[in-house]
Amino acid sequence: VNGLQARTFGVWTLLASVIRCLCAIDIRNRTLYYITLFTFCLALVHFLSEVFIYHTAALTIGVMAPLMVASFSMLGMLIGLQYLEVEELSQNKKKN
């Protein structure tokens, strides 16, 4: 890893964390919710590809931790998405 790659990965991580914090503040924003879900998908695909496709990372705790966070976060967000849809439907019924 050279300095440019390290800084690029650092900026990507910072951007993903800002998006995730904004989603936590405004969780009912569907667009932001999907973008946040996509950041976890990207993280999962990135780490899985480094381990299983490119073989540039070993399956150690340093790689397992982000894999578990991304997996559980995606699962939680997919479950939470159902509640956002139910809430949106109930709000539409109240308006009518």
pLDDT of residue 85: 82
pTM: 0.86
Q: Domain residues for 7?
A: 3-95
**Cα 23–27–29 angle (5° rounding)?**
90
Q: How far apart are CA 82 and CA 45, in angstroms?
A: 23
Q: Give the amino acid at 10.
A: G
Specify the number of domains making up the chain: 1
pLDDT of residue 89: 78
Could you read off the pLDDT tens digit of each residue along the chain, which spans 96 residues?
799 999 999 999 999 999 999 999 999 999 999 999 999 999 999 999 999 999 999 999 999 999 999 999 999 999 999 988 888 778 888 876
pLDDT of residue 38: 97
pLDDT of residue 92: 80
